[in-house]
Structure 1
Amino acid sequence: MFFSGMEECHKNVFRMQQLGSDVFEHVLKFIYTGKVNITAGIIQDLFAQAHIFQIQTLVNLCVEFFQKNMNEHNCLAALTLADIHAHRMLYLYAKNFSCQHFMRLVLDDDLYKLSCECVVDLLKDRRLECENEEIVYETAIKWLEHDIVARKNYRYKVLETVKFPMLKKTFLTDTVAKAQHVVSDDRGKELLDDGMLFHTIPARRHQLPLYQITPRLNMPFSEVAVLLGGRLSDGLSNEVECFVADTQEFFNLKQLPFKKRNEFSACTIGNDIYVSGGLRSPEFWKYDPSFDTWLRGPNLIHARRRHGMSAVDETIFVLGGFDEDNVLATVEYWSLDSGRWEEGGSLNQPVENMGFVAFGKNIYLFGGKNNDEVVTNSVQCYDTVTKTCTTLSCDLPVNDMCLSSVVFNNYIYVIGLEGVFRFSPDRENWDILPDMSCARVSLAVLDEKLYALGGRRRGAKDNLYTETIEFFNPETNLWLKAHNMPVPMYSYGCVRILLSKNMYLSRGPGEFIAPR
């Protein structure tokens, strides 16, 4: 204050407002003797005065006292105090404590006196220890109603901290849909719609805001990347391996139900995993994670491999690929209602080993190899409603094949042998992103980050495959090393699902795969 260039620096006399004389005596005593007797009764005022007078040693002693004596009755006061005085270390400590004891704090009136910034920061934390997301919703509503006039403009900012897809469908219908704080705001209605869509159209979950579909750490399920089979240095694998980003652990699910084969495809509807095709195979299978079981479905009309496979709503589409004689342009589809495969038109160009992903009602296909064995840079858009395909003018920045594609924050990320690219379906343009250490990878969105698992080394003649796991943070535009896979490989299928923690917490230590 006195050395900051502010008005107070130039005054001979400065009146200190709202400083208790009793506490100020402790400050003076510390200045002259270096000693102070800190008690719970004076800690808040003492911290504030030490901060005002920029007595860092005394500030540190106050923080140490808070940390040693923090409890459910003073943690919110410490959080507020740290926020007012911008003391990051105390703020983070108090917030962490508040997250751990949240179920008791919801009964404390001080919670509903927090500033908007503090309550938002607390409620959006993944570490929040709550029995269910309904409690977070009720806390947000109660905070808004604590001062309904003054806080009206904060509605969306506070409601956005609630993970609406994690609310029970009946709660969304019976309670949330009738709440004025939600339905009187267009953005609040969007949150409600996102929550309902999660429950009613599982195949569109990957298109919802990432924060909304990322579970809190204490929820009974985790988001996992499931890697289905693939190629190892010594041949093919039929293992189905799960990667839990929160713990950086791998464990096995039930093996693929067919003989080892090349180049099948996979997709999900909700948490059910579907696999089709492969070398000389028309087979179609579903994995039910609730029972760790594979179920056989009806065969494809055309056996194929190196094909695209995506779900839109409750229908799965299989596009292009290779039938051992020709690169295919044919499309076929299967729906939960009909339970059978039907012809669905054709692509503009036959391709194999292309990138593919569903976005809205369309399926985008990137690059791939055509019948002339030419690697292309074409971008095709298949309309699942009209069963027609168009070729877009916004070519992939390079000619590429063996591509992986995934939806991430309303963009499509495409990664292949020649680089990392980001496509905007709305604007139909491309961004070229920083490259990673390995070109051919399996992709999954976990913990609001883009994970790349394993892959094929670009230009390698031996040690073709890598065990590296990297993740991309769009805020920093950087790839960072996360961990290693159990063995170097690239997978033929990689999907994200929400898996019950009972599936892996109940397993013995020997059933885990130790990352290297």
Structure 2
Amino acid sequence: MAECNTRQRLSEIGHDAVQYFMEKLLFNIYDRFDEQDLTDVTFKLSNPNAMVKAHRLILSAASPYFRDLFRDEKGICPVIEINNIDSDIFEQLIIFCYTGKTFITNDNVERVLKAALILQLEDTVADCGDFIIENISNYSIKRVYALEREIQCATLNQKLFEYETQNFMSVAESEEFLDFDANKLQKILECNSLNAPTERDVFEAVKRWYDYDALGRKQHLQDLISCLRLTQLDTTFLLTEIQTLPGCESIVVNALSWTNCPALRSNLTLKYTEKRGSQTTSNELLFALNIKERENKNIFQYDNDEGVWYKWFDVKITISDFGVIFMDTNFIFIGGSRCGKAINDVSRWNFKTKTFEQLPSMNQPRHSHSVLLLNETIYAIGGKDEHGV
């Protein structure tokens, strides 16, 4: 054998030459498998009965499971029995060792994933996790959580966590969300990329989880509330919705002090003081409402990245000359005229549900007036009443 220092290293060979040779080599290797030529190991499977032949070197290169198996006394045998994997799934995973591809369907993904965990085929495990998440509407989130609990797969856990944070609102509305353990929920709440329209929405989800078993979950509530971005919530909401919860009084005091007394911040203990990376507060959104159309009011949103306006939605409304403000995730329509007559109606159009909700009316009918929001109070200025005054 030549001395090691005379052998050309792979890193010294041109990339293109190596890639071309590797591709040709892999095709030739698969041809040997496809023709069952020069195989040196046979696997005997019983469900159903099958004999699968392969090449030890290829399998040991593809999986630590096979590498350790062939180094063991059991692996010396020309025929090795496999009793914990179905023969059709095993054969698919052997093909993966040659091609890097696995045929995954809704019907077989659980069996493929479980077998890939046994055979330590990390790429197949990742492919199964991706397939489950991408097809979660067909696979059902309930089934995913059941599988997660059964196999305790770190890769699936991570992919499911990414799904939960990116689809938090739909996950929070599911029945399975109510059965989350406190540690799991806390990890989700701590995530800066948690995708929710506002921090109020995150709080409402936590409140729903807590109310499902208030007595049993009381001990976890303070830790969970501490994970909220409390500085993004207004004073009234903090005082009326959060301070009244068990153990949350001091947290709210710290949040209010942080917002209202910046000089005290160095002495305050607050887990999170910045908004989540995925959230945009209402005053950072830029919308335009076309009020000239008779019934369809076009809502346009400005894309900061692209520097362009695009039509976001059409709101059907039969009034004109109204005042409108943007508050939280709602348009508030105030007064206006209907059929030439001033009205005092006030209604809220919700961005998430795209539905109207009637609010308390103004004291007087007004149209062609101005409105503004100042310190959480709405003011209507000028305009005319039903007599044109």
Which structure's residues are more often helix, by fraction? 2
- For the aligned pair, the TM-score class normalised by the smaller chain equals 0.3 to 0.5
TM-score by length of 1: 0.33
From the CA coordinates, give the structure whose radius of gyration is larger.
2
Larger relative contact order (Cα-Cα within 8 Å, sequence gap ≥ 6) = 1
Quick check: which one's strand share is greater? 1
